[in-house]
Every structure is written in structure tokens, then in C-alpha cells.
Structure 1
């Protein structure tokens, strides 16, 4: 009898300990960048705790490996970024989270993948990713009075159901409020509040994530280089996201500029805020990306061997609509980039942009053409640009409801095809376009 009571008591104590550690989980875990020999894993706790991950090749749980263990800290928003570095290319792994040495169980799969070593061996791998911008999560005490600005959070579940390899966030991934953008406390709070919503967690757990920012995750609306707390929001961006690099265009490593490759496609992640001239400043040189970043982009494009070269930036690049945040209002910089693409015969260029609270596909009338896919919004307010003049818009691609894009790259080497599908909050396909690699190539000499 005493053994029975002792066993029961022990089980209760263990159960309470596991529950206590699970209760320390604030958000995540999240899968960050993927390379052939390592993957970044992220998590956030509610207070200081020891965290680590176990992982194993799918179907082989007997061969568990562990990341290092770290203590989460208040001055890093209790976030941890750990590296799974005992991996091999082209494999799928399962993983689990430990907080204070207790395994934390989630109700959805926790998985990641390493990139395929395809070069000189096979055709590049087929893959697909979701993308979108403008994720507004309501927070009643700090929101403006009236109708809530955010809605239809279930769109995040619809994205997860597409089973993408990764998600590329196109800015306004959070919306800093007036109470947030003046302090590190407020900035950490807003990032934590958005990252913690239940609808997001499954997407974080098994889909790799990359991100750029725009004005609302950088600072106030339409903010520029004069925003005094930009290094605080830069710090927060690095703490809450898992890109493989940041600040690659700046000698001091400032800004979020970076790049990554998935399969045979290279992504260029641009910073349209940290160095930007104020929209209403017409004295002197006006720029969005500014000289160092433009030169880095041109050089990086020229050296890239990718089939498609995807440039992700918050502000619309191609649109001819002269709304104040678009590149068309900074014509010298915009034209310099376009001229460099032509002069260097850079093939396969596609911009991915956000910001505008509607979706459209723009295409230049050049040979070969350049595309700009604007995808917005996920959950924030929508906008109908009926009075705007964008003669480059591809017919029947305007969407003025909550939506996201699913982009799939398939086909043999040198014959790749990019399929773009736009879905609404219910997972209904709204339109589809295909872009052939061969149609974006400059003629060979």
C-alpha cells in the first residue's frame, strides 16, 4: 500500500514539474534559417530558464542529438537562438524542446529540414514557400478607439495547411503602437505580444522563417533614418527572427540587409528604413536603400548564379503610383537599380514587396521583363487603390481582401518554373500566374 501511495505521489510531483516548465513557454518554438550543415531553432520563455533542443533524423528517435543549453535573459526578451549542427544535407528532422530539463510537448509537429546538396549531382530541388505582409494583432488597451484594425487570424492556419518549406515575412510583421516605440520595454512587449498568438504557433514549429521589416516593425508610421530608437528595434528584430545574416551591406553591420539561398533561388533581403531619407525631405540626395546598400545589391545580383533572383523589400519597387512610400518617388535610386540590371544583363529578377494593404503583380514592358509581386495584408486593414495609376499592373491580379501568396519553384535545371498563387483567408485560390525561367533570360551573345 505504501508503495502505491509513494508511486502516486511521485507521479503527481513529476506532473506538476512538467506543467510548471510548460507554463514557462511564452512563444515558439520556431524554425529559423536552414543550411546544409546547420539549422537555427528559436524559443521564448516567460522568465529566465534553461533551454535546449533535442533533434533526430525523422524515423530514428533512438539517435537523439542535443543543441547546447542556454539561459534566457530579460535583456534579450527571454529569447534563445540555438543551432542544430549535427545534421546532414537533404534530411528531415524532428525535434523537441526542453525547459529546465523538462520536455515540453506541443500539439502539432515540430520538424525542420536541411538544404539539399544538389549541385553537380541532380536537378535543383522543387520547393514552395508562403509570403505576405502586414500582420496586425489587436491589443485593446493600446489600440486606437473604434473598430478593431486586425482580423481573420485564421489566415495563419490556412498558410500552415499549404505545407510550405518556409515563410518569407515582407514587413509590418508587427505593428508598434505609440506606447511601444519609445522604449526597449515597449518594443520587446509588442514583439512578444504578436509572436505569442495561438494561431501562429503551428506555423512557427515546422516551417522555416525568414523576414524583412518595414515601418511598423521598425518604428512609427512612415519612419526613416531619423527615428531615434532604430538600434533598439534592430536589436529586437535580430532577437525575434532567425535570418542567417544581417547588416551585410554596411561596414558597421547596421540594418537588416541580408541574403540566403534555397535550392537554386537566391533571396536578397533589403532594408528600406534604417538609412532612408524622410519622405518630405527634398533637400539634398534622397534615397530609400541609399548608396552602400544599392552598391551591395548590384554587386550581389551580378555575382549570383541563381535561376531566380528574388529581391524582398517593404516598399513597392515597380509601381508607377506616386504614393509617398513607393520607390517611384525616389526616381534616381530606382532608375540606378533598373539600369544596373540591364547593363549587367541580370536575368531572373523578381521583387517581392508588401506595405500597401492590397495585392498586385506588376511587370515591366522590357525584354526580358522584371516582376514585382506585392502581397498585403495578412490581417491588417485592407485598401482599394482604385484612384491609383499603376500602368504596370498585370490584369486581374488586384486583390483587396486578406490574402497570402504561395510560390512554388519546380522543373529541371535551366527550365525552372515559378508558380504564384494568391489565397484568401479561407484558403480559396484567387488567381495564379506562372513565370518561366527562360522568359526572364537575356539573350546569349
Structure 2
């Protein structure tokens, strides 16, 4: 980390970079994947011409190139380019070129296109990682005292599991007082976190999707009154590789993507949020427009598992901190609409709480159980909160140390099974649970 920041400082002072290999600040990172295209991302130290070349692992003679793009200071020296000559179900090796020089790395740089399985076979097995709350220390600007971030080797442990993709569940970086009041501050903090050395191999060969929570949106507990929310949206989109944002045309980062027969709904719990302390009118966390879009999108989806990603806990019955229970009217509207529409296969994924827990809600025998998996934290200060007043928690799933999840979906098309495994920072399994798609249906 200090080496990366030294290069930045050296360039700002002297305008000189010692080697072409030192021109990359962070990345490369693999973003979204479809059957026809894949997003590739990289950040350079200074303005430079960037392009990617890629080829099938089984056919190294045929090479493809992305367009060329010149990075610039205004956009944090970030390049986002599309590999648009991929074929379905292929694995590719890629290379990144900066000012015509190939950048060498001692770890794989790979991506995969999604499989065309419909009308042909059962859907493929899918494995993906989840996690939230990633704090990377920067002593000069952090609060005095014990560093808040630790156990950064957890990203090496995730990488060793070789998931198809990772879904970041918010607080993916932590903005501080010095950061959230300016665009320069946003760019600095996002760059600092993204440059973590332990993170680079995971970025390079695992596809990444993300939502946000308060700390990568703005100040602690930030809401729709945050003056910098347009900047927050701009920088989030610059540093992440989701296939779409703001699908409701209301601002923010709401989106969706598919992987095999699974669908993921990426919600924004900040952009429309009423202040936690404002009780003068209607209180919202997601807002009616976002909820109504979600219900319609869920109703249209044929996915056996419909993963709804939110920055904060949805089902926890204890109204505390920033979970959905502090917005009881909207929460009830949200859950009622899911039941009224008879939407099947819904599972909530969230972070925020600095501990991991699985909640299960089943109002009656006539409906299937809703599950809410909270997975936190990756590197930020962890706790062992037992959620004493949460009547839906499964006690054996509470984890109070740094951890991550690997979710695996396998089996025939009509009998898919979700396996959830939670691992500690070293990749040791802490607990495992299976959920059958057939158990998340209306009989």
C-alpha cells in the first residue's frame, strides 16, 4: 500500500514514473459478464492510453482487442472497457496494456462469459462470494487509536475459493470527514481502498458486482438529504462494474443482473432514505418507486432463487441501528407486496451489522419462509452482537468475527439447491446450510 501511494506522490512531485509496470494504480478488475460482453476495469497512476487484449484459454492463437481509452485526472485515471467479441460459455485470459506496454502480474487475469444453457441443458452450477464492510487503514486521516481495519488476507482466502463472481453488500469502502465533502475526497478514498495489495488477485479473475450502504455513500447514517449524493453516485459507478444503474430513473444505483438461472436485484437503501431522526411525515428506506419496480421485476422473473441485495437488514424484528424495522410501515408494505404477488424464491442478502446471521420468517403455513442472510464484516471492526430481540434469527448462524460467504446453487433446473457456507478470515468453514428452491414456493 505504501509503495502504491509513494508512486502517486512521486509523480505529483516530479512528473516521473520509474517503469511502465508501475503505471497501474489498482486493478485490473473484472466487472459484469454476459454471453456477449464483459466489462474490464483498471486505474492508472497518471494519464495513459489503455486497452485490453484477450483470448480463449483453449485457443490462444486468436486474439481480440478492446477499444483504446486515455485515462484522465478528472475521472480518477480510471478506464472501463468492454470485451465485446466473446462467445457464450467460454473462459478467457486477458492482458492489460498501458501506453503500449503489457503489464505483468504474478497471478491469473481471467474472465468467463455466461453459458447459453436454455433449451439445451440444465443450468450450470453457480458459486458466488458475498461480504460487506471493508475498512482499509490510512493513519493520517483515520481516527486516532487502534486501527479499525484488519485481516486483509481475507481477500486471499476468498480468491482461493475461486467463485464465479463476488457481490459486495455495501460499506465497500469507508468515507471519512476528510473525504465526503468533495469529489477529490471521494476519488482519494475509493482509490486508496481499491489499491489494497491483498485485494488485487481477487479483482483480476473474479467478476464483481456491488451495492452501497452509508459509508461508501457519504457520512455515517447518511440519507436522501446528503448534499453529495450525486457525486456519490458518480464515483460509485466509476469504480464498480454493474451492468446497469438507476433502472427506475429516479437517481441512485438500483439495478439487476442475471447469472445462469439466478437473478439478483440490487437495491439502493440510501438515495431515497428518510433521516433516522425525522418523524414529521412519511418515513421511507427504499421509497415507493423502488419497491414498486422491484415487485414488478420479481413477478416477471422465472429465477428459482431471487436474491434481493440491500445495504441493511430486512427481516430483523428488533428496531435498532439502521435495519428495516425502524421504518415499520414501509417494511410491512414491502413484505405484504411480496406475499400479495405470490412471488416465490425470495432471499435477502445484506451487510452493515459487523456480524453475520441468518433470519427466517414464516408468517403462516400457507406461505413459504423468507430468509435474510446478513454477511459482515470483511475487514472493518467486528462484533459478537447476538440479536437478542430478533425473533427470526437462527442462533447457530451468528458469527462475530471477520468472515465471508460462499453461496453455491446446483442441481437440475426444477430442483435447484442453494448451499450457504460462511468462512472465517482464513477460509475455515464456520457453518453451512442448504435451502431447496422447492421449499420456497406456494403449494
Shared fold, TM over 0.5: yes
Give the equivalent residue in structure 1 for 2:408: 408
Q: CA RMSD in A?
A: 1.2
Offset, 1:109: 0.3
Find the counterpart in structure 2 of residue 327 from structure 1. Answer: 324
TM superposition shift of 1:18: 11
Helix, strand or coil for the counterpart of 1:141? coil
Q: Contact (CA 8 Å) 1:250, 1:292: kept in 2 or not?
A: no
1:384, CA displacement in angstroms? Answer: 2.3
Conserved? CA contact 1:18–1:104, under 8 Å: no
Aligned to 1:424: 424
Instruction: Name the CA distance, whole Å, in 2 between partners of 1:131 and 1:167.
Output: 6
> d(CA) in 2 for partners of 1:281 and 1:76?
35
Could you say which residue in structure 2 is the equivalent of 1:5?
A: none
> Which residue in 1 is equivalent to 2:80?
81
TM-score (norm 2): 0.95
The number of equivalent residue pairs is: 425
The equivalent of 1:201 in structure 2 is 200
Looking at structure 2, the residues matched to 349 and 59 of structure 1 have their Cα atoms a distance apart, in angstroms, of 38
1:433 is displaced (CA, Å) by 0.5
Aligned residue for 2:392? 392
Give me the whole-angstrom Cα distance separating, in 1, the residues matched to 2:249 and 2:152.
Answer: 36
Cα distance in 2, alignment partners of residues 55 and 340 from structure 1: 45
Question: Post-superposition shift, 1:321?
Answer: 1.4
Matched, 1:344 2:341: yes
Counterpart CA distance in 2 for 1:409 and 1:387 is 28
Q: In structure 1, the residue corresponding to 2:395 is in which secondary structure?
A: coil
Give the equivalent residue in structure 1 for 2:8. Answer: none
Preserved contact between residue 386 and residue 398 of structure 2 (Cα < 8 Å): no
Q: Secondary structure at the match of 1:233?
A: helix
**Residue 303 of structure 1: CA displacement?**
0.7
> Which protein has the larger Cα radius of gyration, Structure 1 or Structure 2?
1
In 1, the alpha carbon distance for the partners of 2:17 and 2:136 equals 30
| Contact 1:358-1:375 within 8 A present in 2 as well | yes
CA-CA distance at 1:133 after TM superposition:
0.3
Give the CA deviation at 1:385: 1.9
Gaps of 5+ in 2: 1-15
* Rounded Cα–Cα distance in structure 1 between residues aligned with 2:18 and 2:407: 40
For residues 364-375 of structure 1, the aligned pairs below 5 Å read 364-366=361-363, 367-375=367-375
Does the 8 Å CA contact 2:17/2:23 hold for their aligned counterparts? Answer: no
Residue 55 of structure 1, CA deviation: 0.3
Q: Who is 1:4 aligned against?
A: none
C-alpha displacement of 1:329:
1.1
Residue 146 (structure 1) aligns with: 145
Query: For residues 300-323 of structure 1, what are the alpha-carbon distances to aligned partners after superposition, in whole Å with 9 as ceiling and x for unaligned?
Result: 111111110000001100001111
CA distance in 1, matches of 2:277, 2:222: 11
Describe how 1:270-281 pairs up with structure 2 within 5 A.
270-281=267-278
State the distance in 2 between where 1:399 and 1:387 align. 11
- Does the 8 Å CA contact 2:50/2:70 hold for their aligned counterparts? yes
Could you tell me how far apart the structure 1 residues matched to 2:404 and 2:163 are? 12
Structure 1: gaps of 5 or more residues: 1-16
For the 8 Å contact 2:129–2:404, the answer to whether it is kept is yes
Counterpart of 1:44 in structure 2 is 43
Q: CA deviation at 1:113?
A: 0.3
Contact kept in structure 1, 2:355 and 2:398, CA below 8 Å: yes
TM-score (norm 1): 0.94
In 1: Cα distance, 2:103 partner to 2:119 partner: 41
How far apart, in 1, do the equivalents of 2:106 and 2:321 lie?
45
